[in-house]
Amino acid sequence: MTHSVTKGLSKLSANQQLVFDILKAESGPLTAYEVIDRVRTGSVWAPPTVYRALKRLIDEGLVHRLESQNAFLACTRSHQSEAWNIFTICENCGATQELSSDDIATRLKDRVAENDFLVTKMTIELRGVCRTCTNPKIAAT
Ligand SMILES: [Zn+2]
Ligand SMILES: [Zn+2]
C-alpha cells in the first residue's frame, strides 16, 4: 500500500469542502441530485455549482464516481493512480466500500497489456451483501 498521492484538501473552496463533507458522511454513494438536495438548505446553490465542485473533487482524487449508478462517494483510500477504483456495493442497503486496489489494478493492467491494450481508467463494482445485512443481530449489538 502506498501513500504517494497527496490529496489537496487545503486547496478546496468552501463549496467544494461542503460537498466533500456531505459525501464523507454517507455510507453509500449519492447522486448529484441528492447532493444538490442536501446543500440547498437556505443558500443560493445552483446545480452547476454542485457539478463543478464534484468535478474538482474527482480531479483531486477525493471523490469517485460510480459508473453504474452515476453516483458519487468520498474516497477512503490512497491510490497509486486515481484511475483504478474497486468498490463493493451491498444490494440490500446500498452501503459501498472502496477496496485497496493498487495490487489488483497493476496485475490487471499487466495482463491487459499482453493483449496490446492500454487501460486508462478502471472502475470495478462488486455486488453482494454487506455484513450488516448478512447478520442484522450482530450489527445491532
Ligand atoms: Zn479512492
Ligand atoms: Zn447492506
Task: Tell me how far apart the alpha carbons of residues 125 and 60 are, in angstroms, rounded to a whole number.
Answer: 21
pLDDT for res 21 = 94
Q: How many whole angstroms from 137 Cα to the centroid of ligand 1?
A: 30
Relative to the alpha carbon of 89, which ligand is closest? Answer: 2
pLDDT the model gives residue 141: 53
Tell me the pLDDT band of 139, cut-offs 50, 70 and 90: low
What's the pLDDT score for residue 2?
36
For residue 70, the CA-to-ligand 1 centroid distance in Å is 16
User: 32 alpha carbon to ligand 2 midpoint, in Å?
Assistant: 22
- Residue 117, all three cell numbers: 491494450
Report the alpha-carbon distance of residue 124 to residue 141 in Å, rounded.
Answer: 32
Residue 118 CA, ligand 2 centroid: distance in Å: 35
CATH number of this structure's domain 9-75, picked from the four choices 1.10.10.10, 3.50.50.60, 3.30.420.40, 3.30.2290.10: 1.10.10.10
pLDDT in tens, 27-86: 889 999 999 988 876 566 788 999 999 999 998 889 999 988 899 999 987 776 666 788
CATH number of this structure's domain 77-141, picked from the four choices 3.40.50.10490, 3.30.1490.190, 3.30.499.10, 3.10.150.10: 3.30.1490.190
Residues of CATH 1.10.10.10 domain(s) within the chain? Answer: 9-75
